Amino acid sequence: MALTASFEGIALQDLTQVRRIDPMLRQIVEAVSEGRVRAHLEALIRPRDPYAGYTSMEAAADFIAETLRGCSLHLVEERFRCEGRWYRNVIASQPGSCRDGQVLIVAHYDTVPNSPGADDNASGVAGLLEVAGVLARYRFKHDLVFIAFALEEYGNPGSLYYVERAKACDAAIRGVFDLEMIGYLGQTQAVPPGIQAPAVGDFIGVVGNRRSEELVSLFKETAAMVVPSLPVQALVVEGNGENLPLVRQSDHTPFWEAGYPAVMITDTAFLRNPHYHLPSDTLDTLNLPFLRQVTAATAASAALLAGFA
């Protein structure tokens, strides 16, 4: 009964339906490949900032587009202008059978200057690409949309542009999974005042606002079911996180502001990772088995929210 209750929010009707989808979730989790995640990271890791790293940022966008196109997804490049230069969000979609709602998996692909950005945020993009490749093999009731945003490090103009357009056309977004640094484990874990968390950085955090509370629970409960060795710490904030600004530092925030449910999935960034925004944010600092587990939990959660057709 507990399992049925856990997934009532995604319209599982009875234990028969739970038994039907459980093998499919297992297949999804087993299909997530650490080797492919590493290959994505190797293609992405280098400075990808809008200054000296602009060429590499554009090359990263090309790689992301090529990879998503190779998953037989419908690809669109959404271009926007910022401070006199053109940038692009790379968007790939998989239509659902009902076409009455969207499930988004997003990550930003830019870096700050002089940082190769392995954890921030090649890890999130690698996870996004792997989730897209695995879920493209299945059919769902609701649309799946995979988005690599530009310029998160510079005030979120990429996600702001996307959300403004989504709101204008009254897009029915069921939930957003924002992959923001998902590859680092640390011996120590800083914790902001008023928040309870372990002293060791061996967990993945899932952060939502009250509107996104069910999405937080979905991720946490799905992870416990399909990757039980992955520790998950949940945090639900009031309003849109105004009283705790560090939880607003990624592309989920424009979705919160627009009233859409969204969660940030994160290794907690500078609260754990000493290489944050530095030249030392390199591939060898990442824990790939951990990154794979987070990716698998995200894939399974997105699949449940989208609903198997």
pLDDT tens digits for 78-94?
999 999 999 999 999 99
- 58 burial type by CB count under 10 A (0-12 exposed, 13-18 middle, 19+ buried): middle
Task: Tell whether the model's pLDDT for residue 234 goes beyond 70.
Answer: yes
Predicted pLDDT of residue 14: 41
Look at the chain and count its residues: 309
Residue 20 confidence class, pLDDT cut points 50, 70, 90: low
| Residue 194 confidence class, pLDDT cut points 50, 70, 90 | confident
Say what the pTM is: 0.94
- Look at residue 16 and tell me whether its pLDDT is greater than 80: no
| DSSP-assigned beta bridge partners for residue 140 | 308
The pLDDT score that the predictor gives to residue 184 is 98
Report CA 185 to chain centroid distance, whole Å.
17
Question: Percent of the chain at pLDDT above 70?
Answer: 93
Residue with the two structure tokens 């006199």: 84
Tokens standing for residue 247:
């939880």
* CATH code for the domain defined by 2-182+189-306: 3.40.630.10
pLDDT tier for residue 50 given thresholds of 50, 70 and 90: very high
Q: Residue 251's closest CA among 176, 156, 166?
A: 156
Residue 19: predicted pLDDT = 53
Domain ranges of the chain: 2-182+189-306
Best CA proximity match to 158, nearest among 91, 73, 239: 91
Dist CA 111 CA 102 (whole Å): 28
C-alpha distances (whole Å) from 64 to each of 61, 68, 192, 278 are 5, 6, 34, 23
The whole-number pLDDT of residue 17 equals 52
pLDDT at 259 over 90: yes
% the chain with pLDDT above 90: 90
User: Is the pLDDT confidence value at 12 over 50?
Assistant: no
Mean pLDDT of 103-111: 98
Residue 144 has pLDDT above 60, yes or no: yes
Please give the pLDDT value at position 99. Answer: 80
Ramachandran angles phi, psi of 270, nearest 5°:
-70, -10
Give the separation between CA 130 and CA 30, rounded to whole angstroms.
Answer: 12
Window from 3-7, 144-148, 240-244, 291-295 with minimum mean pLDDT: 3-7
Where does the pLDDT of residue 21 fall: very low under 50, low under 70, confident under 90, or very high at 90 and above? low
Asked whether 151 and 83 are in contact (CB, 8 A), the reply is no
3-state secondary structure string across the chain: CHHHHHCHHHCCCCHHHHHHHHHHHHHHHHHCCHHHHHHHHHHHCCCCCCCCCHHHHHHHHHHHHHHHHCCCCEEEEEEEEECCEEEEEEEEEECCCCCCCEEEEEEECCCCCCCCCHHHHHHHHHHHHHHHHHHCCCCECCEEEEEEECCHHHCCHHHHHHHHHHHHCCCCEEEEEEEECCCCCECCCCCCCCCCCCCCECCEEEEEEHHHHHHHHHHHHHHHHHCCCCCEEEEEECCCCCCCHHHHCCCCHHHHHCCCCEEEEECCHHHCCCCCCCCCCCHHHCCHHHHHHHHHHHHHHHHHHHCEC
Mean pLDDT for 267-274 is: 98
Q: How many CB atoms lie within 10 A of CB 68?
A: 24
Q: Is the pLDDT higher at 177 or at 195?
A: 177
Q: Does the bond joining 209 to the residue before it have cis omega, within 30 degrees of 0? A: no
CA distance 243 to 292: 32
pLDDT, mean over the chain: 93
